[in-house]
Each structure stands twice: as structure tokens, then as C-alpha cells.
A and B are shown apart, each in its own frame.
Chain A
Amino acid sequence: DIQMTQSPSTLSASVGDTVTITCRASQSISSWLAWYQQKPGKAPYLLIYKASGLESGVPSRFSGSGSGTEFTLTISSLQPDDFATYYCQQYNSYSYTFGQGTKLEIK
């Protein structure tokens, strides 16, 4: 199975900051990567697909990049609603593995 490793596990930031979360795959997954946001007690919410495709309705301050084995999710000008946990997921091949998550906290 392809392993997905996110870093950092926890990230502290302030409203207005720009933050970057990294996701690394144990082997090349081309651009078959999605990013999700999850808030406590809620289902995940799709942000980015195919590494850099912005899901409809998602604010443009969210952006994704990368290919092969290294990917990033960047959130510009953090808003209070953005403090949540973020997961990457590869869908190059099943099992469709997720990263372990990055919790974005208010500093």
C-alpha cells in the first residue's frame, strides 16, 4: 500500500497568516491527490482534487500544488473558520490511503 505522511501534525497560526501543509507519498502518485477539511464532529469536506483543482464553492485562499511524491496545501490569509484538521488522500491506486492529519490551531 502507498503510505501518506503529512507534516506537521499540529500547526499553530493566527488569523491573517499564510500556512502550508505538506503531504508525502511513499511512491509516485502522479497528481492523484485530494485534500479535505474536517471539523470536530463533522464529516470531511473536499477542498482540492487532482493535486491542484479547487472544488467548487471553496474559497480561493485554499490552493494545492505538487506531483509525484510531494504535495502542499496552502491557506492564505487564514480566517477563523479555517481552524480545523486537514487530510490528504491518494487515489492513484487502492487502498485509497489518507495522511494522518494536520490540526491547524489558533495561536
Chain B
Amino acid sequence: GAGVSQTPSNKVTEKGKYVELRCDPISGHTALYWYRQSLGQGPEFLIYFQGTGAADDSGLPNDRFFAVRPEGSVSTLKIQRTERGDSAVYLCASRSSGSPDTQYFGPGTRLTVL
């Protein structure tokens, strides 16, 4: 079946611009996660949704970052006033209630802020 998909695969933007990154989880998965990965490092947790609500947003670095999941399926990560330090690969993962130990990751969106 289809895995987690993320669009766009690459995004180049200028400092100060607004960007949206989209995640389509595996159909039927109730939990959705966003991570950020800088070069040479492991993924860093940002936010976790259970259904439509954010169950844990403790990883969001500041108020420029915001994520939504209005219908409990697709999620959008929104970054305002982008900074060069926001450049990273943004990973999305989803998990089913029947398989709580396994998160399934998408290929990521590579964000470059010039």
C-alpha cells in the first residue's frame, strides 16, 4: 500500500518568507508526527497529533512554527518569517493505533532558506 508522502520534496525560499510543508499519512493512521533533521544529526521531534489535536507540541522551536491537522488526516507544517537556520529536512511519520510501536516515515521535505 501507499506509504507516507510529503510535498514538496524540495523547497527553496528566501529569508523572511512563509512556507507550508504537507504530509499525507498512511490511510487510517490516527497519529502523525513531525520531525526536523539537520545535516549529520538524527531527527529532532517537533510535534505529535493524535487525530485532529496536537498531543505534544513541545518540540516546536518558537512561535514561527505551527502545524495543523484539521480533518485528522493530512497535516501542514507552517513556518513564518523563515530564517537560514530553519534549513533542514522536515520528516513526517504516522502510526496506527493497532501498531503503537512503529512509526512509518515519509521521505522528507528538504527546506533551504537563502
Same assembly: no
Chain A residues at the B interface, C-beta cutoff of 8 Å: none
Chain B residues at the A interface, C-beta cutoff of 8 Å: none
